[in-house]
Amino acid sequence: MSIKAEEISSLIKQQLANYQEQLSVEETGTVTYVGDGIARAHGLDNAMAGELLEFDNGVFGMVQNLESNDVGIVVLGDFTGIREGNSVKRTGRIMEVPVGDALLGRVVDPLGRPIDGNGEIKTDKTRPVERKAPGVMQRKSVFEPLQTGIKVIDALVPIGRGQRELIIGDRKTGKTSIAMDAIINQKDQDMICIYVAIGQKESTVRSQVETLRRYGAMDYTIVVSAGPSDPAPLLYIAPYTGAAMGEEFMFNGKHVLIVYDDLTKQADAYRELSLILRRPPGREAYPGDIFYTHSRLLERAAKLSDELGGGSMTALPIIQTQAGDVSAYIPTNVISITDGQIFLDSDLFYAGTRPAIDAGTSVSRVGGDAQIKAMKKVSGTLRLDLASYTELASFAQFGSDLDTSTQSKLNRGARTVEVLKQGLHQPETVEQQVVTLFALGKGFIDAIKIEDIQRYESELFSYMTGNHQEILDEITSTSKLPEGDGFYNAIKEFSESFQGSKEAAK
Ligand SMILES: Nc1ncnc2c1ncn2[C@@H]1O[C@H](COP(=O)(O)OP(=O)(O)OP(=O)(O)O)[C@@H](O)[C@H]1O
């Protein structure tokens, strides 16, 4: 192998050029204050907003406030080792995290360092944590469905690839469970998942990782975790880290699902660090740019145009409400940024309707575009049926004599609610959902006793797979409802043979 002289000289020139660049940015300042994850330093005259700084002891910080005499820095790590008078150095870079395939199956902190005890992450690719979201011309409208495997979502509030759908509700109403089930259902769906846990107990994150692993979902998932004992800056930066990792896949033409669990805690962390940085407090003591904090994060979720490879990043941010109050500051902000919300109701949850999704207040602004044709057809009137059922049910409590049409509406409504119930970690394929909803719409379930419905559903599907696989295949390949009477007759045949169907509905 011969080595060309020009090649060597050009390499040396390149190295020299970089060397000079590094020298020109190096600049040191002196720490004048440290406390609660924040530091101030004097003498960094040319520091840029968002620039990464390095303290004496190797801990990194990020420039947040540029003031006339000093800069406000958020410390990305343990601040207790930093002393007043220590020097702090500019790096000339903005904060970056490792990205790429090597992160799949790993649990990392918001700086991209492994915390799962499985050794170092071997990747040399990095991406900036903060990045401008794709612009109008770089996007395409959302049209491909993202199947969550949860009937009530796929039928009533369908989510498309590239959409941002908020999951909102009081504490312990099943918000995380919905996100987890959506991730579990992405197996073999050509989707990369990122779960960002913000301020959640280490033990909770651990059990979530175990769950994902048990269902084989860790193979295509990255978990970014900032625990409650981590300094506020790490909690604040965690969702941006997740977004940077997702963008790497999205810009390579892949599909990504990212969950931010939850942005309420992230907003609280940002409020904490802003107050310590002495930024003026606004409504509910949040800083003035809290809206921008969330909007620039969620705008990064996108469906890219074909020229950019057609990749997508779907975001499921989670927000916790107090006593169902969606009109508080942070909930209204995030509702207005996202393309719809899944509202979880604690009354429904405690009444046993799980997932406790309130069909009246949950919407998806991308809607039907993100459903396959068959699903669109079978779920068409479901929302209206449910709404009129809720209204009638409350009204029927007062009267005893109901005419037959009201009676049958109540009957159908009660069965619809039962059909839409679904246990934890039991995702259903879209074909399975279509079969059940078709049977419901055609009135086959009206004659089944409420307590037999779950059994009816599962037996119906095994009957279909056992005897009419060709019908299911047709739904899969054409995305449409099969033509002719075959589908109807198959369900009819099963329903007639189903034990318990002969009993009149109560
Ligand atoms: N579909 C379901 N069927 C049965 N149980 C469920 C279902 N969804 C959630 N649960 C149970 O409800 C409990 C609360 O769920 P989860 O932790 O998802 O709620 P959360 O709203 O995310 O809570 P947090 O306020 O802690 O974030 C869990 O114990 C979970 O097992």
pLDDT digits (tens, 9 = 90+) for 349-358: 998 888 999 9
Residue 278 is classified by DSSP as T
Same domain as 334, residue 258:
yes
Most confident by average pLDDT, 74-88, 178-192, 466-480: 178-192
Instruction: Give the DSSP H or E segment for 5.
Output: helix 5-25
Q: 174 C-alpha vs ligand 1 centroid, how far in Å?
A: 3
Residue 113 beta carbon below 6 angstroms from any ligand 1 atom: no
Same domain as 272, residue 353:
yes
Residue 451 lies in a domain: yes
pLDDT digits (tens, 9 = 90+) for 16-67: 776 655 544 468 899 999 988 899 999 888 898 889 999 988 899 999 989 8
Quote the pLDDT of residue 355.
93
| ipTM value | 0.96
Residue of the nearest CA to atom 12 in ligand 1?
Answer: 174
Residue 133 lies in a domain: yes
Report yes or no: 490 and 468 within 8 Å, Cβ to Cβ: yes
Domains contained in the chain, number? 3
What's the CA gap between 248 and 320, in Å, rounded?
29
Domain that residue 428 falls in: 377-497
Question: Does 50 carry a binding-site annotation?
Answer: no
From first CA to last CA, the distance across the chain in angstroms is 87
pTM of the model: 0.89
Give me the mean pLDDT over the 265-285 stretch. Answer: 92
pLDDT digits (tens, 9 = 90+) for 203-217: 999 999 999 999 999
Quote the pLDDT of residue 504.
44
What's the CA gap between 62 and 94, in Å, rounded?
8
Q: Among this protein's residues, is 113 annotated catalytic?
A: no
Mean of per-residue pLDDT scores for the chain: 89
28-35 vs 38-42, strand pairing mode: antiparallel
> What's the 3-state SS for 388-450?
HHHHHHHHHCCCCCCCHHHHHHHHHHHHHHHHHCCCCCCCCCHHHHHHHHHHHHCCHHHHCCH
Residue 171 beta carbon below 6 angstroms from any ligand 1 atom: yes
Same domain as 146, residue 89:
no
Q: State the angle between helix axes of 469-478 and 453-467 in degrees (0 to 180), rounded to the nearest 10.
A: 90
Same domain as 184, residue 332:
yes
pLDDT digits (tens, 9 = 90+) for 131-165: 899 999 999 998 899 999 999 999 999 999 999 99
Token pair listed for 5: 């002289």
What's the CA gap between 439 and 446, in Å, rounded?
9
166-169 vs 312-320, strand pairing mode: parallel
pLDDT digits (tens, 9 = 90+) for 247-267: 999 999 999 999 999 899 999
Quote the pLDDT of residue 500.
58
Residue of 93, 206, 296, 365 marked catalytic? 365
115 exposure class (CB count in 10 Å sphere: 0-12, 13-18, 19+):
middle
**Ligand 1: which of 177, 200, 343, 346 to mutate, most ligand atoms within 8 Å of CB?**
177
Q: What is the CATH number of the domain that holds 333?
A: 3.40.50.300
pLDDT digits (tens, 9 = 90+) for 302-345: 999 999 999 999 999 999 999 989 999 999 999 999 999 999 99
Quote the pLDDT of residue 400.
67
Residue 338 lies in a domain: yes
**Ligand 1: which of 152, 172, 318 to mutate, most ligand atoms within 8 Å of CB?**
172
Token pair listed for 420: 């839409």
Quote the pLDDT of residue 267.
96
pLDDT confidence tier of residue 12, bands split at 50, 70 and 90: confident
Last residue of a domain, one of 344, 371, 398: 371
Residue 420 lies in a domain: yes
Q: What is the CATH number of the domain that holds 414?
A: 1.20.150.20
Question: Does 399 carry a binding-site annotation?
Answer: no
- Closest to 300 (Cα-Cα) out of 243, 262, 224, 338: 243
Q: What is the CATH number of the domain that holds 35?
A: 2.40.30.20
Residue 110 beta carbon below 6 angstroms from any ligand 1 atom: no
Quote the pLDDT of residue 23.
46
Same domain as 51, residue 197:
no
Task: Look at residue 505 and tell me whether its pLDDT is greater than 60.
Answer: no
107-108 vs 70-76, strand pairing mode: unpaired
Task: Look at residue 1 and tell me whether its pLDDT is greater than 70.
Answer: no
pLDDT digits (tens, 9 = 90+) for 368-388: 778 899 999 988 888 888 888
Q: Tell me the residue type at 492.
A: K
Last residue of a domain, one of 46, 64, 94: 94
b/e per residue 180-216 (b: at least 16 CB within 10 A): bbbbbbbeeeebbbbbbbbbbeeeebeebbebbeebe
Same domain as 353, residue 242:
yes
Same domain as 256, residue 159:
yes
Residue 505 is classified by DSSP as P
What's the CA gap between 226 and 235, in Å, rounded?
5
Last residue of a domain, one of 371, 397, 428: 371
Residue 86, helix vs strand vs coil? coil
